[in-house]
Amino acid sequence: MISVSAVDKFFGPLHVLKDINLSVPRGQVLVVLGPSGSGKSTLCRAINRLEPINSGSIEVDGQPLPSEGKELARLRSDVGMVFQQFNLFAHKTIVENVMLGPIKVRRLPKEEARTLAMSLLERVGIANQSEKYPAQLSGGQQQRVAIARALAMKPKVMLFDEPTSALDPEMVQEVLDVMTDLAKEGMTMLVVTHEMGFARKAAHRVVFMADGEVVEDSTPEEFFTKPKSDRAKDFLGKIL
């Protein structure tokens, strides 16, 4: 469903993605781990084409990434993205935040969009907050709205870039629970996270990145019990 081949990316002289190869089969969860600055966010942004790459290729559902126009809009709805910062529209209610994409991009009639939004808010456990504004919700609730908003586009894959890093500790689990449910329902997911419990339980594969390279690509079992590289051992030593 996601295929990244020989991808290189530079920011000026800085080589931030170095010959990256990875793939996520349909229905699988890939967790990407690695120290800050290793290129994890850049990789996510490249898959959504928020960042152009310098060489290599990326395919989503067998299609190379389009560079512009209608095709790019379609890619963006096929690839749902959830960031550390939820970026909800502050002056719109929760349900309106979720309805917006379906109305604007998928051209759904308003009432249909509302029905869809309410069912997704139900799914992430906050239907009862639908008429509130983002600032009236906790961080964990806002992040669940952001997940519902991404799902409203009927994505084929979901990318999560440190979705719980900005949350107070007591709110982390409610967001991870929603992600775990999504994974169980068969969503194809690429998840950048420092939540090792989630990685162990939900990941089909773990990719460890450092300095712009994929250093390890293994099962969670292998990675957590016998990491091969010194860099991974060092990382795990610091985080566990």
List residues near ligand ADP by CB under 6 A.
11, 14, 16, 34, 36-42
Least separation, in Å, of the C-beta of 8 and ligand ADP?
Answer: 13
Residue carrying the six token digits 């929760």: 94
Query: CB burial class (10 A; 0-12, 13-18, 19+) of residue 226?
Result: exposed
Least separation, in Å, of the C-beta of 27 and Mg ion?
Answer: 25
Least separation, in Å, of the C-beta of 7 and ligand ADP?
Answer: 13
Long-range pairs for 65-70 at CB < 8 Å and ≥24 separation? none
Whole-angstrom distance between the N-terminal and C-terminal Cα of the chain? 31
**Residue 160 or residue 223: which is nearer to Mg ion going by CB?**
160
Among Mg ion, ligand ADP, none, what does residue 220 contact (CB within 5–8 Å per kind)?
Answer: none
**Residue 36 or residue 225: which is nearer to ligand ADP going by CB?**
36
Among ligand ADP, Mg ion, none, what does residue 167 contact (CB within 5–8 Å per kind)?
Answer: none
Residue carrying the six token digits 């709805």: 77
Least separation, in Å, of the C-beta of 64 and ligand ADP?
Answer: 22
13 vs 15: CA distance, rounded Å: 6
CA-wise closest residue to 138 among 178, 99, 94: 94
Structure tokens of 67?
A: 């560079």
Let me know: does 117 contact 102? Beta carbons within 8 Å: yes
**Residue 40 or residue 49: which is nearer to Mg ion going by CB?**
40
9 vs 25: CA distance, rounded Å: 23
**Beta strands per DSSP E along the chain:** 2-11, 14-24, 29-33, 55-60, 63-64, 79-82, 157-161, 188-192, 205-210, 213-218
Stretch that binds Mg ion, among 36-44, 180-188, 204-212, 216-224 (CB under 5 A): 36-44
**Residue 116 or residue 190: which is nearer to Mg ion going by CB?**
190
**Residue 17 or residue 176: which is nearer to ligand ADP going by CB?**
17
**Residue 40 or residue 76: which is nearer to ligand ADP going by CB?**
40
The answer to the question of residue 41 lying near Mg ion (CB under 5 A) is: yes
Stretch that binds Mg ion, among 34-42, 48-56, 67-75, 91-99 (CB under 5 A): 34-42
Least separation, in Å, of the C-beta of 41 and Mg ion?
Answer: 3
* Chain residues in the site for Mg ion (CB under 5 A): 40-41
